Structure 1
Amino acid sequence: MEKDAEDGAPSEGAEAPPSTEEAAPPRSEEEEAPRPPTVEAPAEDGFSPSAEDAVSSVVDYRDLIPSEEGIVLPDDHEADLNRVRQRLAPRPVQSVISEVLSLPSSRRSSRYRRSMSGLPNLQETLKERQARFREARESRRLKIDPSYKYIFEILAENLGLDIVTVEELILDCPSLEAFTNFFAKDGCKTLKFLYQEGDVPGIECGRTIPGATKGAKMMKLYIDNAAPDKLKGLCIFFVRCRNDVAINVKTIQEEALFTVLDASKGLLNGIRDMLANIFLPAVLATNNWGALNQSKQGESEKRIFTETINRYLSFLDGARISIEGTVKLKTIDNVNFSKLHTFEEVTAAASNSETVHQLEEVLMVWYKQIEQVLIESEQMRKEAGDSGPLTELEHWKRMSAKFNYIIEQIKGPSCKAVINVLNVAHSKLLKNWRDLDARITDTANESKDNVRYLYTLEKVCQPLYNHDL
């Protein structure tokens, strides 16, 4: 040991390194807790690393020794696999925290800065998206030429808006490709606009709508395929009779025709009014029928054509009346039918006398409604003097629609739930209900058979209506 100490002693003339006690700053009580060293140093050396160095290199104390010192560890401190060292008590948590807090702030918070550095990027990305959408909107605006303006003027006049508002509503759409296809040679022959209520557009429209909140509604102008499936507003559509040449500002007034379909009161009403008030008067006022004017059968063909339009109008009236004349079974609010689906739920309800009585009252309400429809259908109806097979056909079509709609409701989940509970409870009302169900089914089948039979007579009777004898 003395030899080792002499070998490790500093040479003459060299300045002795300061002792550890003098060089190291005073340590707190928290830092004086023993820590398990990786390599045991000689006790007589009195070497004690500072807290700062310990944190920067906890792996090996030998890294703390300057290379020029040339200190060599004693031989008896070489690794011995059979040696069992005494386990030292772990440092208190408070000392670990104090050391972490004593680190420079840049080192301690660098990881948190890295984890939070993405937040400004997200905000910048949103701003970039908004800028990109605004730029796309301005790009669409640059495409507007006098041909677009002509379309805008017609839309503004028929929608009761000013041209500036129409233009802004059009620019809310993500693309103006429909205009390009309509104006181009060999392009699309139709251009449709739908003006009705919809959701407020988001940032993709490229503008901020004043006063608009999330989930709010506003009147929007849809173009072609961007329109919703259900039409319940104003539809303005343009038609090209020929598309072998491109449309420009000089020819658009001659090449493009337009009309308005008002579906605000229902689609059937809108189509019927458009045909009856626009197309049929135009057909009747037409004198130039082309080749039909030179044909012997021309007058007959024109008469058949106009009669076909009238028959279609009658069909639309019948469909509207059928829809309006459908009987909807009364909605019951005080019964939760969704809890009467499983066998256990039905059995529990059937064992409750109060529930059974309540469901019997519901069944009687529906019974009286259906019985009233059957009574009205069996009454003699007064017909006009000029009615014929086609009038009879329309009547039975309406009756068939009415009865079939009732049967659909009887087969629905609410009615079936009531029947199942009363069936388990052995209610006496079920006998009358089954008789009524059989009557309504027979009447519906009779109406369907009459419609099928009258359809076969329609082709034979049609020449009589057209005076084509």
Structure 2
Amino acid sequence: MEDGDSGSQTSNIKEEFAKERIRDRKPKSRAISVTQSKLNLRAQMKLLEEDRQDRESQIGSVHRYILDSAALLLGVTVDELVEGIIDSDSYIETFNTLFQPGGRCVGIIHYQMGDAPDLWTGRYNPTLPKGTKIKSAAFSSGDSLALTDMGVLAYRLNAKKPIETKNVADDIYVQAIFASPPEKTVCDTIVRLLETSIVPAIHGQSDWGELNKTEPGHFKRNQFLDKFDRFIHYMKEIRNNVDARVTFHVDDELFQNYLHSPAAAKQALSQVDVYKAIHSQVRQWIRQMNHVIVERNQLRREDDSFGPFKELDYWRRELAKFESVIEQIKSKKCHMYIFYVMASKCDLGKV
């Protein structure tokens, strides 16, 4: 029995010793795993840095001509713009199509706040806190990236021939553009671009070639300028019509949290802060609608130059106002706000 006990004790000691060795080994294996992951990250970053260098090598003289002009308009250095544009293959590819025959006619150089460069850009900085924002450059076609600050519009009038070093200065045009403030619209941005760039260029043109040599040529030139001026007037009227539209402010966060469904709206009836916020917004909508009605009923005073075209412009603006009110009242968000007000059974619901 004693031999059996001693054998059992020896077995237990061996098991404990084995467990200790396993426990000692585990931290080491974790340390090795962490070290290995760091080595993998460094190796991956090195490969991505090489990809970045390859993208930078694609920035040629035609790219730099445009970037030089853009840097001057934006008040930054060319290197700052290059640093951002070589972050992505898509930026380079989009940029290149501006020079190809049959390629795109317009591109935008953005310079605005955005997320700090990620791993795939080749300039990832792991020491930056998560959510860090930096100002950087990008190149887009205008539909893949929103313009939130300032940028430069690069465009050409003839997409059939390639853009090369010898003709880039003659065939590529650049124009500084800025994101409109929240109260402004895309129409306003387009009109300002026309007024500051295109209109002076057209009316300042004196060399009309063969059109200047004959009477029919003079007629065609004047006919073109007349149509051009009408187009500018039409664009200004569109801007005025859009600006005349009534916009109801809607708190999206309030809607998502409390008004996304009738059940959620009913549950929020007992919350005083929500009640006050919703009623305040609906009261503001009522004031806006009353203002439109009062403005419409006011006596119009027009000068002697007021003709049929101005009359049409006036009624287009009036139509834009009333249509904008109706469109918003029909929207789901407005319906839910009104549903809440009616469910609260307050005096505002009787208005």
Q: Deviations for 1:83-132, whole angstroms, at most 9, x for unmatched residues? A: xxxxxxxxxxxx5xx54222386677778877875443322221122111
Post-superposition CA distance 1:312-332 (Å, at most 9, x none): 333443344344444345779
Alignment-derived partner of residue 58 in structure 1: none
Q: Does 1:229 align with 2:146?
A: yes
Is 1:101 matched up with 2:16? Answer: yes
CA contact (8 A) 2:109 2:153 kept: yes
Query: How far does the alpha carbon of each residue in 1:164-201 deviate from its partner, in whole angstroms, 9 at most, with x for none?
Result: 32332333333523444444555544443222222222
Indicate the residue corresponding to 2:36 in structure 1. Answer: 121
Instruction: Provide closer, same or farther for how the CA distance between residues 421 and 179 of structure 1 changes in structure 2, counting only shifts above 3 A.
Output: closer
Contact 1:315–1:394 at 8 Å: present in 2 too? no
Task: Tell me, in whole angstroms, the C-alpha distance in 2 between the residues paired with 1:252 and 1:348.
Answer: 62
| Residue 151, structure 1, aligned to residue 62, structure 2 | no
Q: Deviations over 1:220-275 (max 9, x none)?
A: 22112485134542233142636435513x44323433333333455433321221
- The corresponding residue for 1:338 is 258
Q: Which residue of 1 aligns with 2:315?
A: 396
Contact 1:236 1:261 in 2 (8 A): yes
Cα gap change, 1:191 to 1:270, in 2 (>3 Å):
same
- 1:103 aligned counterpart, secondary structure: helix
Alignment partner, residue 63 of structure 1: none
Hey, what's the Cα distance between the residues in 2 that align with 1:426 and 1:170?
57
| CA gap 1:178/1:139 in 2 versus in 1, 3 angstroms | same
Identity %: 21
On the 8 A contact 1:242/1:255 being kept in 2, the answer is no
Distance 1:421 1:307 in 2: 54
Query: 2:241, 2:320 within 8 Å by CA — same for their partners in 1?
Result: yes
SS of the residue 2:156 aligns to? strand
> Does the 8 A contact of 1:263 with 1:269 survive in 2?
no
Task: Give runs of aligned pairs for residues 405-416 of structure 1, distance below 5 A.
Answer: 405-413=324-332, 415-416=334-335
What is the match of residue 286 of structure 1?
205
1:13 match:
none
Question: Is the Cα–Cα contact under 8 Å of residues 232 and 263 in structure 1 kept in the other structure?
Answer: yes
2:117 maps to which of 152, 177, 201: 201
Letter in 1 for 2:47: R
| Alignment correspondent of 1:160 | 75
| Counterpart residue identity of residue 408, structure 1 | E
Asked if the contact 2:98/2:106 (under 8 Å) is kept, the reply is yes
**8 Å Cα contact 1:200/1:217 also seen in 2:** yes
- Higher alpha-carbon deviation: 297-306 or 418-427: 418-427
Work out which of the residue numbers 23, 27, 33 in structure 1 matches 2:6.
27
Q: What is the number of equivalent residue pairs in this alignment?
A: 341
SS in 2 for 1:219: strand
Contact 1:423 1:430 in 2 (8 A): yes
**TM-score, with length taken from structure 2:** 0.74
Q: Deviations for 1:396-442, whole angstroms, at most 9, x for unmatched residues?
A: 222222112222333345653565467678878767x4xxxxxxxxx
Structure 1 partner of 2:156: 239
Q: Secondary structure at the match of 2:136?
A: strand
Q: Which moved more, 1:323-332 or 1:144-153?
A: 323-332
Are the counterparts in 1 of residues 109 and 140 from structure 2 also a CA contact under 8 Å? yes
**Residues 1:263 and 2:263 are matched in the alignment:** no
Contact 2:152 2:174 in 1 (8 A): no
1:49-448 to structure 2, matched below 5 A, reads 51=11, 95=12, 98-103=13-18, 118-174=33-89, 176-184=92-100, 187-208=103-124, 213-225=129-141, 228-230=145-147, 232-239=149-156, 241=158, 243-245=160-162, 247-248=164-165, 250-265=166-181, 266=184, 267-290=186-209, 292-293=211-212, 297-329=216-248, 338=258, 341-342=261-262, 366-413=285-332, 415-417=334-336, 419-420=338-339, 433=351
1:247/1:255 contact within 8 Å kept: no
Can you list the C-alpha shifts for 1:310-364, whole angstroms capped at 9, x where unaligned?
Answer: 333334433443444443457799x9893595379659969xxxx9999989866
Alpha-carbon distance in 1 for matches of 2:301, 2:112 = 42
1:392/1:198 Cα in 2 relative to 1: closer, same or farther (>3 Å)? Answer: farther
- The residue type equivalent to 2:174 in the other structure is F
Aligned to 2:85, what secondary structure does the other structure show?
A: helix
The letter of the residue matching 1:260 is A
Q: What TM-score does the superposition give when structure 1 sets the normalisation length?
A: 0.58
**Offset of 1:377 from its aligned partner?**
0.6
3-state SS of 1:215 partner? coil
Secondary structure class of the residue paired with 2:84: helix
**Structure 2 counterpart of 1:458:** none
- Work out whether residues 101 and 159 of structure 2, in 8 Å CA contact, stay in contact via their aligned partners in 1: no
The answer to whether the 8 Å contact 1:346/1:420 transfers is no
Q: Helix, strand or coil for the counterpart of 2:152? A: strand
User: Secondary structure, in 3 states, of the residue corresponding to 2:6?
Assistant: coil
- Say which SS state the counterpart of residue 109 (structure 2) adopts: strand
Q: Shift of the alpha carbon at 1:394?
A: 1.9
Mark the CA change 1:260 to 1:308 in structure 2 (over 3 Å): closer, same or farther: farther
CA shift, 1:374, in A, is 0.7
